[in-house]
Structure 1
Amino acid sequence: MTVQVGDLVARTSYHCDLPFRVVAIHEETKSAELNGHDLRLYADAPLDDLVLVTKDEREEYEKATSSKEAESYKLFRQDYKQMKLKRGYTATNGYREGASYFEMPGRVLHIDGDPYYLKKCLTFYEKLHVPVIGKYMQESEMPDLAPKLVAQIRPDILVLTGHDAFMKNKGMPDEIKAYRNSGYFIRTVKEVRYHWPSLDQMIIFSGACQSNFEYLIRAGSNFASSPDRVNIHALDPVYLAARISFTSFMDSVNVWEVLRNTLTGAGGLGGVESRGMLRTGLPYPSE
């Protein structure tokens, strides 16, 4: 078996627990760099530790994942309908006024360290009707390039994500050197918050699998991963941003209700009480 870039593989040393995409191969060390197929996890492994995922195994895994994604989408739609009813009641003075109204959901800038995940996320933003601009950017480039992009676009919600990993052989959980990319996310959040210090002016989500949650929150993130240093799903930041985008700025975003819609839950995501970003206006412009 010859492993090539782009192959879907599993690690025998981990009992083939997760599928990964091969993103780079280093012949000199006989090793490969891996990104989680649906989890925002970075890993590396010797080539002789890898086995190709069969077509049947891939279909079985994707079937299970699709079921979870569908359930998350269903929960989001239920919450969205409830929020829309509440906004309609408020905008029409308890349904006593006949004036029509319009809505301006929060705009999202999604910066992703994985182009494959970015494409998948943008598809789901479109499905959820969230206004979004997506940009691929390597995690190491984010501290220098992301703040400039934020200044140009001036989003209501900023998502900084990609891949990360906690490496036990590099240090303790409270040491940034023990994380693959947490340091880059932290620096980026600090740079953005220097210009937009208010947690209500711009909502920031940052992090990926096993990221240092505590440091990301201290840097100025409203929401981050990963409190329990667990893996998060590729679409978790999307559901989080969508909930914030469609929550009225008059209301607080309930952290527990937001996490209910994600595929990972409280072990993978957390945050601080924040305001929504949707604004309602009236009357609705006539054609």
Structure 2
Amino acid sequence: MQIGDIVVRKSYGKDITFKIIDIKEDDTEKIYILKGINIRIIADSKEVDLETVSKEYSGETDRIFNSRVNDVIKKVMAGRVDLKRVQKSPKIVPTKELVFGRPGKILHIDGDQNYLEACLKAYKQLSLDATGYVIAEKDQSSKVIDLVKIVKPDIVVLTGHDGMIRDTKDFLDLNNYRNSKHFIEAVSALRNYNSSYDELVIFAGACQSCYERILDAGANFASSPNRVLIHCLDPVFVCEKVAYTNIDKIVPITDVLENTITGTKGIGGLETRGKYRQGYPKSPYVN
């Protein structure tokens, strides 16, 4: 087996599809480092437990999550609130055709190139204005402010890989997590730059991240309340709900979580004001 091969773990019922990203050797055997194709997980395995599969293969967990992704996208697009409505006044009778709007702008910083590409594709599919950068988790706190000054986003996503040390008993000790402390440092930097939860909306975390400490640092939304694996597109669906909710409304947290793939076990957060701004009239010179 080689780096880049697509594999499944036999002992887990071949439920999740992985890519081999590294191979470590000692005196007796090889250990393969694996990255989930759809799930934000890094794992390791011995060769005897691995089986190569085609790029088109989907394990049971993959199929369930992929089906959920398709359902959520259809639901979002079909149920999106009619945003072409304006308040009537005695002097102006607005028409739907002349109303326009601007959803919140998104800056997505991800520690993984493949996950970022999947997210940017989904943002485009959902008609969201998103700019993405691949930055290692440990470097996000030192670079995020400069990127915010350039992009001027309404919503910032900080994600990548994370995970707990095996047999962890203290779930609030950051030393027991792979990258939670880096997400917390980046969130803290953002809140020192802009302390308003309404002006700058922050999503932070990855699989099994220290949810409570990330929220305490200043995030509006975080993963993972039950320390479960989250889907790579979970941040996208959180952003969609916030970006397309009018600024005069508070986004119900239950509505935000309803459209995520992993739900309340994977994502949680605080009540947050929407970022959609309506305009009238629409320019006749813009399609």
Q: Do these two structures clear the TM 0.5 threshold for a shared fold by scoring above it?
A: yes
Counterpart residue type for residue 39 of structure 2: L
Task: Kindly state the Cα deviation for residue 76 of structure 1 after the two structures are TM-superposed.
Answer: 1.1
2:202 — aligned with what? 204
Q: Is the 8 A contact 1:40 1:209 kept in 2?
A: yes
Which is further off, 29-38 or 200-209?
29-38
Distance in 2 between residues matched to 1:195 and 1:184, nearest whole Å: 17
Q: Is the 8 A contact 1:170 1:177 kept in 2?
A: no
Task: Kindly state the Cα deviation for residue 55 of structure 1 after the two structures are TM-superposed.
Answer: 6.5
Q: Secondary structure of 2:266's match?
A: coil
1:122 — aligned with what? 120
Task: Kindly state the Cα deviation for residue 59 of structure 1 after the two structures are TM-superposed.
Answer: 7.6
Task: Kindly state the Cα deviation for residue 137 of structure 1 after the two structures are TM-superposed.
Answer: 1.1
Give yes or no for the alignment of 1:226 onto 2:224. yes
Distance in 2 between residues matched to 1:166 and 1:207, nearest whole Å: 12
1:247-266 alpha-carbon deviations (Å, 9 max, x no partner): 11100011111111111111
Give yes or no for the alignment of 1:89 onto 2:85. yes
1:242 — aligned with what? 240
Task: Kindly state the Cα deviation for residue 73 of structure 1 after the two structures are TM-superposed.
Answer: 0.7
Q: Is the 8 A contact 2:14 2:59 kept in 1?
A: no
Q: Secondary structure of 2:263's match?
A: coil
Counterpart residue type for residue 53 of structure 1: V
Q: Is the 8 A contact 2:85 2:99 kept in 1?
A: no
CA distance 1:189–1:4, change in 2 (3 Å): same
1:113-155 alpha-carbon deviations (Å, 9 max, x no partner): 1111111111111110000101111112112122221222120
1:222-244 alpha-carbon deviations (Å, 9 max, x no partner): 00110011111111111110111
TM-score of the superposition, structure 2-length normalised?
Answer: 0.90
CA distance 1:37–1:108, change in 2 (3 Å): same
Distance in 1 between residues matched to 2:21 and 2:89, nearest whole Å: 55
Give yes or no for the alignment of 1:158 onto 2:149. no
2:254 — aligned with what? 256
Q: Secondary structure of 1:267's match?
A: helix
Matches for 1:1-287 after TM superposition, within 5 Å? 3-28=1-26, 30-53=30-53, 57-58=57-58, 63-80=63-80, 83-84=81-82, 87-92=83-88, 97-99=93-95, 100-169=98-167, 172-287=170-285
Counterpart residue type for residue 73 of structure 2: Y
Q: Is the 8 A contact 2:15 2:61 kept in 1?
A: no
CA distance 1:174–1:281, change in 2 (3 Å): same
Distance in 2 between residues matched to 1:47 and 1:185, nearest whole Å: 32
Task: Kindly state the Cα deviation for residue 10 of structure 1 after the two structures are TM-superposed.
Answer: 2.3
Q: Secondary structure of 2:85's match?
A: helix
Q: Secondary structure of 2:246's match?
A: coil
Gap regions ≥5 residues in structure 1:
none
Task: Kindly state the Cα deviation for residue 92 of structure 1 after the two structures are TM-superposed.
Answer: 4.4
Counterpart residue type for residue 74 of structure 2: K
Distance in 1 between residues matched to 2:2 and 2:37, nearest whole Å: 15
Counterpart residue type for residue 256 of structure 1: T
Q: Is the 8 A contact 1:91 1:101 kept in 2?
A: no
Which is further off, 65-74 or 162-171?
162-171
TM-score of the superposition, structure 1-length normalised?
Answer: 0.90
Counterpart residue type for residue 214 of structure 2: L
Q: Secondary structure of 2:86's match?
A: helix
Which is further off, 162-171 or 223-232?
162-171
Q: Is the 8 A contact 1:223 1:272 kept in 2?
A: yes
Task: Kindly state the Cα deviation for residue 14 of structure 1 after the two structures are TM-superposed.
Answer: 3.5
Distance in 2 between residues matched to 1:63 and 1:213, nearest whole Å: 26
Percent identity over paired residues:
37
Q: Is the 8 A contact 2:248 2:273 kept in 1?
A: yes
Q: Is the 8 A contact 2:177 2:209 kept in 1?
A: yes
Q: Is the 8 A contact 1:208 1:232 kept in 2?
A: yes
